[in-house]
A = this chain, B = another copy of it.
Amino acid sequence: MTLLLGVDNGGTRVKLLLAREVGGRFEHVRTDDAPTPRGPGAMDELAVLTRTFLAGDRADAFGITVAGILDETSGVVATSANMRWLEGLAPARELSDRLDIAGVAVQDGVATAIAEAVLGAGRGADDVFVLALGTGIAGAHVVGGAVRKGAHGGAGEIGHLAAGRGEKCTCGQSGCLESLLGGTRLGARWDRARGVDASSTALDVVLAAERGDGTARAILDEATTALAHSLLSVMAMIDPGVIVIGGGLSNSPTWIIDPAVDKAHRQATFHAVPPIVRAQLGTWAGAWGAVVTAGHRMSGERRLERTETV
């Protein structure tokens, strides 16, 4: 038996998860969360929180998520837009020194993808593609419980494949999925189509569509066509066993997920359409991903399962 600690160090809250790994299965022991420690003393404060949470238990290893760009080799945070105090630090080493427990840092999106692939909606498949639909659109190809990062750490950029017509994207290209479906872009496109300056959110667009707003529906229709197109690209290039869709926008099955999946099925020609399912682990996915990553480092295991759902 191995006792593993997951620390999901988010911009607002830090989530702590203690889990037990027995014969490749993960079991929930307990959880807690607290406001994220901020500023220069953040790592000291996080160590105190963690020690209190562990109480008498001795974790064999921990994983900590990083909301930012992580240098894989050194474990140092290169940039973190919302947590500037982490920049230049190696959070796993900092916490490891204070707790005297071996630790590993993992980028938060990677942790979420690993958790969904291994323990969540992709459980049981060896080859899972996970999409996160939020302000940005990210993808991760998880094979045997590890994310394929590519030769320069850039793999899985499903948000920046061409998916539709001509809309200029923040990445410098045109017609990317993110330019048509990214959270803030949906709101901005709806505002522009109506000629208003309202800083609408994706939720506003979905609620308007729900109320019967034709402009909102047309914009969502274009966005889900683009998503369907991108799902077909994933099938053609990666051919995963399962596609998992998470992120804030996945909370609208009616206006986002179902139409996109339906279009993907109708437009598929040679493609092997795998199960396309919504993410299951919700807000605890990051902490579970940190646990799984720590477990992998301990055991060298490639495939792991969890018996208990959070």
Using CB atoms and an 8 Å cutoff, list the residues of chain A in contact with chain B.
125-127, 139, 149-158, 160-162, 171-173, 229, 232-242, 267, 269-272, 274
Taken together as a complex, chains A and B put the C-alpha atoms of A105 and B229 apart, in Å, by: 34
Question: Is the beta-carbon distance between B172 and A151 smaller than 8 angstroms?
Answer: no
Which B residues are CB-close (under 8 A) to A241? 151-152
Known: A233-B233, A270-B171. A239 touches B162 (CB 8 A): no
A160 close to B272 (CB less than 8 A): no
Given contacts A152-B239, A171-B270, 17 further A-B contacts (CB under 8 A): A126-B151, A139-B237, A150-B238, A150-B240, A151-B239, A151-B240, A151-B274, A154-B235, A154-B236, A154-B271, A158-B237, A161-B237, A162-B229, A171-B269, A173-B232, A237-B237, A237-B238
* Closest chain B CB from A71 CB (angstroms): 15
Q: Are the CB atoms of B269 and A161 closer together than 8 Å?
A: no
Q: Bound complex: CA of A234 vs CA of B157, how far in Å?
A: 10
Question: Contacts A162-B162, A239-B149, A267-B173: A154 and B272 contacting too (C-beta < 8 A)?
Answer: yes
**Which residues on B sit within 8 Å (CB–CB) of A232?**
173
Known: A150-B127, A162-B162. A238 touches B270 (CB 8 A): no
Chain B minimum-CB-distance residue to A267? B173
The answer to whether A236 touches B269 (Cβ under 8 A) is no
- Which residues does chain B contribute within 8 Å of A160, judged by CB atoms? 236, 270
What B residues does A157 contact at CB under 8 A? 236-237, 239, 270
Partner of A156, one of B158, B233, B234, B237: B237
Complex: chain B residue closest to A236, CB-CB:
B157
Report B-chain residues with C-beta under 8 Å of the C-beta of A267. Answer: 173
Would A155 and B237 count as touching, CB distance under 8 A? yes
**Complex contact A155–B233 (CB within 8 A):** no
A73 to nearest B CB, angstroms?
16
Q: Could you say which residues of chain B place their CB within 8 Å of the CB of A238?
A: 150, 155, 237
A277 to B240, CA, bound (A): 28
Residues of B within 8 A of A162 (CB): 162, 229, 233
**Complex formed: what's the CA distance from A162 to B162 in Å?**
8
Chain B residue, CB-CB nearest to A237: B237
- The complex places the Cα of A269 from the Cα of B149 at a distance, in Å, of 18
Closest to A126 in B: B151
Q: 6 closest pairs, A vs B, by CB?
A: A150-B239, A172-B269, A151-B241, A152-B272, A155-B239, A157-B236
Q: In the complex, A125→B151 CA distance in Å?
A: 9
Q: Contact between B125 and A161 (Cβ–Cβ < 8 Å)?
A: no
- Chain B's nearest CB lies how many Å from the CB of A162? 6
11 A–B contacts from the bound complex (CB under 8 Å): A127-B150, A150-B238, A152-B239, A152-B274, A157-B239, A158-B236, A161-B161, A162-B162, A162-B233, A171-B270, A234-B237
Q: Are B236 and A153 in contact (CB under 8 A)?
A: no
A160-B237 Cα distance, complex, nearest whole Å:
9
A150's nearest neighbour on chain B, judged by CB, is B239
* Chain B residues within 8 Å of A271, by CB: 154
